[in-house]
Amino acid sequence: MYSSCDGIQGMPLAMGYVPKQEFKDVYPIDVGFFKATIFKELDKPFERGNCRV
């Protein structure tokens, strides 16, 4: 599929970074369940980008 000149053989597909989250300013459990996070600072609503179709 890839030639040996690609330079990507043996490299990981992706690497994740997850910063340590402190338990401060959290939503109540019922609100957190609805928003899919209890951390207010991680509550980032999805916004469509500027891509024109």
Kindly state whether residue 12 falls inside one of the protein's structural domains. Answer: no
Domain span including residue 40: 19-46
The answer to whether position 10 is within a domain reads no
Give the model's pLDDT for residue 32: 92
Does some domain include residue 42? yes
pTM: 0.46
**What is the tally of structural domains in the chain?**
1
* pLDDT 10s digits, 9-43: 778 888 888 777 778 889 999 999 999 888 888 88
Three state DSSP letters for 1-53: CCCCCCCCCCCCCCCCCCCCCCCCCECCHHHHHHHCCCEHHHCCCCCCCCCCC
9 in any annotated domain: no
